[in-house]
Amino acid sequence: MSETAKEDVHELTAEELAAIEEKYDEGTSTRSVGPTAAKLLRAVAIIFAIYHYITAGFGLPADHWHMGWHLTGLFILTYAFFPLVKTKASFNLKTGMLHMGGIPYLDVILMILGVASALYVGVAWRGIPALGIEEQTFRMGNPNNYDMFFGIVIICLVLDIARRTLGWVLPAIISLFIIYALFGPYFSGLLQHPGVKFRTFVSSMYFPQEGIFGVTLWVVSTIVFHFVLFGVIAQRTGLGQLFIDNATILAGRYTGGPAKVSVVSSAFFGTISGSSVANTVSTGALTIPNMKRLGYPGHFAGGVEAAASAGGQITPPIMGAAAFIMAEFLELPYTTIVIAAIFPAILHYVGVFTVVHLMARKLGLKGLAKEQLPMFAAVWRDGWANIIPLIGLLWVLFSGYTPYMSAFCGISLALVAGMSRLREPVTLIYAAAFASFVIWKFLGGGFELITAVILVAGTLVATLNPQERMKLPAMTDAMELGVKYALAVGAASAAVGIVVGVINTTGIGFRIGFMVTQGAGNLASDLYALLSFGEWALFQVEDLQLFLSLVFIAVACILMGAGIPTTALYIMLVSVAQPALAQLGVPPIASHLFVLYYGVVAEITPPVCTSAYAAAAIANSPPFKTGISAFTLGLGKVIAPMAFVYAPVLLFVSSTGFDLWEFTYTATSCIMGVVALSAAVVGYWLAPMGVINRILCALAGLVFIAPSLSADLVALLIASPAIILQVIARRRAPLVSA
């Protein structure tokens, strides 16, 4: 490696990493406020976290109150921390007549209006006779003037907080849905509908069950926030470092070691983090400089980390917000979604791992020296206790309890592992409190005996943690950060609830779905005429129609995903994909996961790919070039959805049933396709590969994905010239040690 390249490797400080995360992660980029305001807002954030933590364990209030309190916290913190217009100067501390503690009075007024509109639903639920307000049941569809005022306010404000946290794209798309609902008669053709009266629209968007107080906000306020909080606390208490150390032990010594460490650690980290940017910064701080030292180009090193980190949202058991909403939409247990996502996630990481391995062989890169690897015994001697919270969470989750109860137990065990020590008796209060809760639940029939025993034993063992105890201020810092991470997804969930309301009110999902399948059907008929020879045809019309429908939806996901969070994109597009693919016989869980996967692909697809840009900042490489590298490395995510739509057996739990032989054969075929595509991307398999051979491998890789013996034979036939030439070239060239 040249001296110039060595000088280019820069170890980033914690402050520089925090700045990168703030720049590319909406949840951590906040404006400065005065010291008094900062203390008040910190208190609000901690109360917000404690409220959700306690209600997860001890019981939720009525939905309208629970979502109202969640929105209250969102409005206070968003208007305090996110400026009206994002400029560099707007994040600096400002004082003067128009500001209160660094917060403009305009934002304070909007904050108060937001809180009032969020809590009005609960206050007026049973009616307020003194103001002439009837019970909510009698006002549904016939709102009074108070309902109209607060309804209009909350619709405008949720769009505003979505804009402040996420930019203009999402609010603009939601505004188009609003226009469609109100002005339906003015649309032509299949999109035309009678229109929704303005008062009816406001009522539907404001009152619970649909709209803003609908399923998306319920899932985020009841489940997603808790898992975000668990991920941040578990990382701070040492689970993230335990993952990185073990990934280094497992993969560091092999060809291209640091890059493989990046893939493995990101896969581990994805089990506790639903944030691609947080994953990128946390693991990339170590792996990207190591990759560059080894000889990987900066853009490739950043691309590896971004592609691997984006897999966090599709990696079981904690897959980000969209998976929980999917469970609600499909009315399936969350554990079913987790099981279905296992093989597609494996396929993604196989793709990234293969590209990394082949690139390392192509560049002749070695692994890390033995002295550079952490010692297995030392890592587990110091960090074993940090795995207990994850074990407790997974046990409760897979034992059939609610996701928020599993998150409560995971957070509680993380608090014990981080803050309780047997050698410091005063700190055992945290362990005693959780153990008492578990026993109380067991005595009341809330926990089975085996679950209670495991949780109490985990609590006691966690107090033996040999690591330094985490102090209360550090834990409250972690809670505050967890709340900030949840602001953007909370704002998106509230705003995108409007889309769900419009879809349910107007039926636009089925209308667009029909248009997609009809357009694909017409194009399929034309292609069938070109690809058929008398009675013999290479493909049937139905196969072409399904393939074209999938391509249309995938392209829509990637194009619309520029700047829109995966969760919001999933909610908007699944309303189109589900009706369209259902008409073509695709099982519901496959169509939902299809949209989720392409929503994640959008995160590493230029021109807007935040996790790739964060990785580029760490790697000091061109952002766009890093995004291209991330996209090519993520080919496993690109083709996996196609595979499980054509072969739902890969999802284990599809309504089409599970057959071990069919699964084994189809999975092997898909892996061969990913390996062939990876070789085409890198231009190397057993030896350097020319352009023609790369094209042959790429074509073969795509054909391998089709789940049939005939398709695999065709793929082997296509790839055979490249395989033969590679074997010959490898025998002539000196072996490259692994």
- The DSSP string of 38-54 is HHHHHHHHHHHHHHHHH
Q: Are 264 and 289 in contact (CB under 8 A)?
A: no
DSSP letter at 133 equals B
Cα 542 to its chain centre, rounded Å, is 33
Other C-beta atoms closer than 10 Å to the C-beta of 325 total 27
Structure-token pair, residue 321: 């917000």
Low-confidence spans in the chain with pLDDT less than 70: 1-29, 270-276, 278, 320, 534, 537-539, 561-563, 607-608, 636-637, 656, 733-738
> 645: closest CA among 731, 584, 716?
584
Both tokens of residue 252? 């560091």
Residue closest to 324 by CA, chosen among 341, 348, 305: 341
pLDDT of residue 99: 83
Tokens 């074990």, residue located: 391
Q: What is the pLDDT of residue 736?
A: 45
Q: What is the CA radius of gyration of the chain?
A: 27
The pLDDT tens digits for 481-533 are: 889 888 888 898 899 999 988 988 888 888 888 888 888 888 888 887 877 77
CB contact at 8 A, 352 and 304: yes
Closest CA to 593 of 221, 232, 357, 325: 325
What's the pLDDT at 350?
Answer: 85
Helices 566-583 and 588-601 cross at an angle (nearest 10°) of 140
User: What amino acid is encoded at 637 in this protein?
Assistant: K
Residue keyed to tokens 């005022």: 149
Q: Yes or no: say if 669 and 707 are a contact pair by the CB < 8 Å rule.
A: yes
Specify the DSSP element, H or E, that contains 17.
Answer: helix 14-24
Query: Using CA of residue 316, residue 319, residue 324, residue 326, what is the dihedral sign?
Result: negative
Peptide bond into 607 cis (omega under 30): yes
The span from the CA of 653 to the CA of 658, in Å, is 7
φ, ψ dihedrals at 515, nearest 5°: -65, -40
What is the model's pTM?
Answer: 0.86
- Helices and strands, number each (H, E), in the chain: 34, 4
Identity of the amino acid at 455:
L
Q: Tokens 């319920």 identify what position?
A: 218
Under DSSP, the state recorded for 315 is S
Q: For residue 413, which of 473, 454, 441 has the smallest C-alpha distance? A: 454
CA nearest to 212, candidates 495, 453, 559, 442 = 495
Within 10 Å of residue 626's Cβ, how many Cβ atoms? 32
Exposure of 505 in the CB half-sphere (CA atoms within 13 A):
28
Contact 721, 696 (CB under 8 A): yes
For residue 208, is the peptide bond before it cis, meaning its omega torsion is within 30 degrees of 0? no
Q: Are 526 and 201 in contact (CB under 8 A)?
A: no
How many other C-beta atoms can be found within 10 angstroms of the C-beta atom of residue 571? 26
Q: Is beta strand 532-533 parallel, antiparallel or unpaired with respect to 103-104?
A: unpaired
Cis peptide before 185 (omega within 30 of 0): no
CA distances from 452 to 395, 418, 436, 455 (A): 11, 21, 10, 5
Residue found by looking up tokens 């007549």 in the block? 97
Question: H or E stretch including 352?
Answer: helix 342-363
